[in-house]
Amino acid sequence: MLFYSTIYVGDLYKRSLPAATTDQQQTIIDEEATRLGSRALFYAALLSLIASLVLPVFVAEAAGDPLQNQHSSWWNWVCRLPRGMQVHLVTMWATSQLVFAGCMFATLWVTSMLQLYCIVY
């Protein structure tokens, strides 16, 4: 998947440029496309890291969890949110699956880097 994601972003970049007239120009375009694809995967990894650190704060604990009192720490105290801002774990998971499915479905219509940025951001 990682390889094809890099190729996908690189191909979108190459399609947005005029055709290269020399082999040297084609090599430069290919190198830049590879860099952009790698950068896109880096940003995806950063987003995943940040989400894995932030989103657990928004998940409500199960009522009557016997381990809840044993796991109280300074981190839980610092990251406390009002109960109204928290959602159930299943709701969070289902929402993330719907967002992912929507993004994957939207790739059928992406033909330029600008459209790709609009979908991701």
List, in sequence order, every residue forming a beta bridge with 59; answer none if it has no partner: 87
Number of domains in the chain: 1
104 vs 67, residue with greater confidence: 104
pLDDT at 80 over 90: no
pLDDT at 73 over 70: no
Domain annotation covers residue 43: yes
pLDDT at 71 over 60: no
Domain annotation covers residue 14: yes
Domain annotation covers residue 71: no
pLDDT at 38 over 80: yes
Q: How far is CA 44 from the centre of its chain?
A: 4
Contact (Cβ atoms closer than 8 angstroms) between residue 113 and residue 13: yes
Domain annotation covers residue 13: yes
Domain annotation covers residue 35: yes
Mean pLDDT computed over every residue of the chain: 79
Go through the chain and tell me how many residues it has: 121
Domain annotation covers residue 67: no
Tokens standing for residue 44: 């995806």
Domain annotation covers residue 103: yes
